Structure 1
Amino acid sequence: MHGNDMDKVGDIRQLAGMERVKNLEGREKGNELIRVRNGNGLNFDIQMDRGMDIGRCECNGVPISWISPSGFASPPFYNSEGRKWEKTFGGGLITTCGLQTVGKPSEVGGEHYGLHGSISHTPGELIEKNSYWINDTYIQKMKGRMIEVLDIGEVFELERTVYTSSNSNEIEIYDQVTNISYKSQYHAMMYHVNLGYPLLSESTKMRLPDSDMESINGNMAEERVDQFPPPKESASPTVILHHLKGPNEKTILVSNFITTLEKKLHLKMEWDTETMPKLTQWKHPGRGKYVMGLEPGNVSTKGRDVLIREGEMPALDPHESVSYSIKIKMEWEG
């Protein structure tokens, strides 16, 4: 889509746009989202009631994101106890983990911290929804904020801006997390990027950053980190922590041949390794699961208690902010 196409349509919404949508049925009932079309084949949902995460995503009709059996359950279904986060984990292209913990459940100072934190189940407030032309490119921008409260004295704000444009099948996210309380707080943040079939299959090829690898869960010795196996009847997840060897190791490329279109699809993912120096890779080839998570973060998934004990848990001083960003781009070959 280009600016000179506008004399061929009655309204730009014929080609691209953003719509506010509310789910009316099932576990997703009540959830509000913004359905985005960039005018170049990229369609995705921003889950306003789920931390402004990116839910369903497709490029030229091909699904990119993995969707869990739970779907995007509305926030009242969320339970922060232990691993019950998994009961409402919808998958989607990006699920945000944090802001006080990521990874394994833990207990610190008598306070229980469940798996991956609560920010992905926190409703957002839309601050800006805007679209505009820059030369021949149509830009769409969505900005909002979420407030996460442990108690009245421990409060984080996440301000998120999402961009997409008509000249590239790319989603850009820029986040700023601020400690808006009056005492220092430990802070963790991770982007849980979830890829599924048909981008993910036994013919998928991956190029990962140069890293030293550490096994967190499963048998890393049996895994090829740059490939994915066919579905298995009895499979368990593998979790691998990649210790990136430098700030320039910040690009992942995932590629597969899409038989329905007879083209190769490349997904390129980049993030700011200055503030997110860790990369966790989660692989589950089980039948009916079949998902891979690529998860850049400021910490590993070992759990808040372990990270504090090992001196690896960052903190934000009162009113201090930290910024994160991630870009995911789809390109076709052939």
Structure 2
Amino acid sequence: MHLYGRSWTRRELEARVGSISQIGGVRRMQLTEGKERDVEAIQVRTGAGLTYYVIPSKGLDISLAELGGMPVSWQSPNGDVHPAYYEAEGTGWLRTASGGLLMTCGLAHVGSPAEDSGGRYGLHGRVHHTPASQVNAAAVWNEDELDLIVSGTVEETAMFGTKLRLVRTITSRLGQNRIAIEDRVENAGFASCPHMMLYHFNFGFPLLGEGTHISFPEAEVIPVTQGIPVEGYDRWEKPDPAAAEHVYEHHLAEDAADSQGMAEAVIHCPVFPVGAGSQPISASLRWSVDSLPRLLQWRMPGAGEHVLGLEPANCTVDGVRGPGCYRELEPGESVLYKLELNLAWKS
């Protein structure tokens, strides 16, 4: 593996530490105070500067993510609230949404509250507040590479209703500042089922500063929020208490995907803190276009709510549940989603 500016074998590293966890690894823990009490967290440290926390209690979503001890994610004022406090009706989701690097929205609904023949659906669905089962966290040697793997299953079910199953695997590697997410969602029922999926990645200060800009794949940019300008969606500014949220949809060009079928958006920060100084970094988000053909952008440069959301999706976010607004899964059918985040220091 490549670490600390040179290549190492497994045995060369093991000779220099009492435990490889001195450098990086996975560690399970439990929160103990307030509304976070009894929430389980899994810390992942890659040894190259990246640390992040996977939350099995909340759908295996990812809370705080740091590079070199500095945050790259935005944390909501709610904290990692236990799902017992979740209010499913209307916009109650906002009271217990954790922010963090990733909040998954779905599995049967995404976007504004809605109602159809299947029932009523609250903002952004239930999966972010559904605990995972069969959770595994392990550091696994593959010759001279150490893979850090968190996996588990999240089920959204109802008698006479939805029976959707998400199997998630999150992988990093010692010596690399990369997170790979592979999700498979299956209709485990015996009737067709609407399936909506949106990956709500949340980036914040100090990654977001007055000099930060964002590069997007080739696309037509359409404002979802009525009356807002298209200009400025690729830049950032200092907090403004009077700022209002702006939502855009990027209609990807046919050739937006690379040879691996992935599209990419990149956040460029010219002055990310490093010790007593600073250094440019980039945060690159990639996703599988075949299963996630839409990209939503949530731009909120407010005070407190100072966050950029990049949101690959398979659906709309306006609460409409008509044809073309989501994917229909047949009994036994499944769909695979692939995403990755790469953090890189720039010279």
1:296 aligns with 2:312: yes
1:95 and 1:33 map into 2 onto residues whose CA distance is 15
Q: 1:322: which partner in 2?
A: 335
Pairing 1:72-221 to 2, within 5 Å after superposition: 72-109=80-117, 111-217=119-225, 219-221=227-229
1:185 and 1:103 map into 2 onto residues whose CA distance is 17
Unaligned runs of 5+ in 1: none
Note closer, same or farther for the CA distance 1:169–1:181 as it changes in structure 2 (3 Å cut).
same
1:127 and 1:259 map into 2 onto residues whose CA distance is 34
Shift of 1:219: 4.0
Q: 1:266: which partner in 2?
A: 282
1:32 and 1:85 map into 2 onto residues whose CA distance is 20
Q: 2:272–2:281: 8 Å Cα contact kept in structure 1?
A: no
Pairing 1:240-251 to 2, within 5 Å after superposition: 240-246=248-254, 248-249=256-257, 250-251=263-264
Say which SS state the counterpart of residue 77 (structure 2) adopts: coil
Note closer, same or farther for the CA distance 1:51–1:19 as it changes in structure 2 (3 Å cut).
same
CA shift digits 1:219-276 (9 cap, x unpaired): 4316411101221121110010111112534101101123532210110110001000
Identity %: 34
CA shift digits 1:129-168 (9 cap, x unpaired): 3322234321111110011123354211100001000232
Note the aligned Cα RMSD (angstroms). Answer: 1.5
2:230 and 2:197 map into 1 onto residues whose CA distance is 29
Q: 2:324: which partner in 1?
A: 311
Pairing 1:26-105 to 2, within 5 Å after superposition: 26-105=34-113
Q: Which amino acid aligns with 1:329?
A: N
User: Structure 1 residue runs of 4+, over 6 Å off?
Assistant: none
Shift of 1:294: 0.3
Q: Which amino acid aligns with 2:150?
A: M
1:56 and 1:168 map into 2 onto residues whose CA distance is 18
2:88 and 2:196 map into 1 onto residues whose CA distance is 16
Size of the aligned set, in residue pairs, is 331
Q: 2:28–2:40: 8 Å Cα contact kept in structure 1?
A: yes
Q: Which amino acid aligns with 2:177?
A: N
Q: Which amino acid aligns with 2:267?
A: V
Say which SS state the counterpart of residue 63 (structure 2) adopts: strand
